[in-house]
Each structure stands twice: as structure tokens, then as C-alpha cells.
Amino acid sequence: MALKKTTVMVDEEDLALIKEAAAREGRPVSGYFREAFHLVALRALRWDDDWDIPRLDFGRPVTAEEIHRAVADGVTDHERSSSATPRASSRPSTPRIPSTRPPAPRCATPHA
């Protein structure tokens, strides 16, 4: 990656925080600015092509609660399937909190 020198005006308080973090973590201040520029550059990306994202029709509006439940169920299913083959991890697993929510409707096949 070729680097290009530039001058940027920043808020004094922000710069002080970055300098403190750099000293604490043993990183150069410039590394924080490169990281910030890279994140903004990625966020600003635009694609010319349309994305081929399928549209699902459940015949009615889907609530945020139903979406949350479906995601939670998917995570639980994934955890169950991956628990058969345990992996070494340096992080302890997060305890599961039982839910009292009603189950979300499931769609076996998406509608066109």
C-alpha cells in the first residue's frame, strides 16, 4: 500500500484522546488516522451493479420482535450444531438467557 502525505485539521480534544491512546497502546498516532481514513473510505464505497437480494413475502408485515426471535433461533441452532465439535477458544461462552417470547413464524420456502 503506497502512502500519501496529507494535512488534516482535527479537534484539539480528539487529538489529545488519540495521543493518549497511542501512548497507552504503544502505537503511532498516524496509525489511528490511517485506520480512521480507511473506515470512512470503506463506508463511502458505492457499487454500480444492483445487488441480487431475494425478496421474501410473508403475506403480512413482519415485526421487529419476530425478526429478533428468528435471529436468536438461528444463533441457537448454530450453537447447537457447532457444540458437537468443540473448538478451542480463549473466551468463555456467553450464558444463554431463556426467552419468554412467542416463536416467530418460519417460512420454509421464500415466495417470488
| pTM for the whole structure | 0.44
Instruction: Calculate mean pLDDT across residues 82-105.
Output: 54
What is the tens place of the pLDDT at every residue in 14-60? Answer: 999 999 999 999 999 999 999 999 999 999 988 788 878 888 888 88
CB under 8 A, 24+ apart: contacts of 2-6: 3/34
Q: Which residues, including other chains, have CB under 8 Å from residue 73's CB and lie 6 or more apart? A: 103, 104
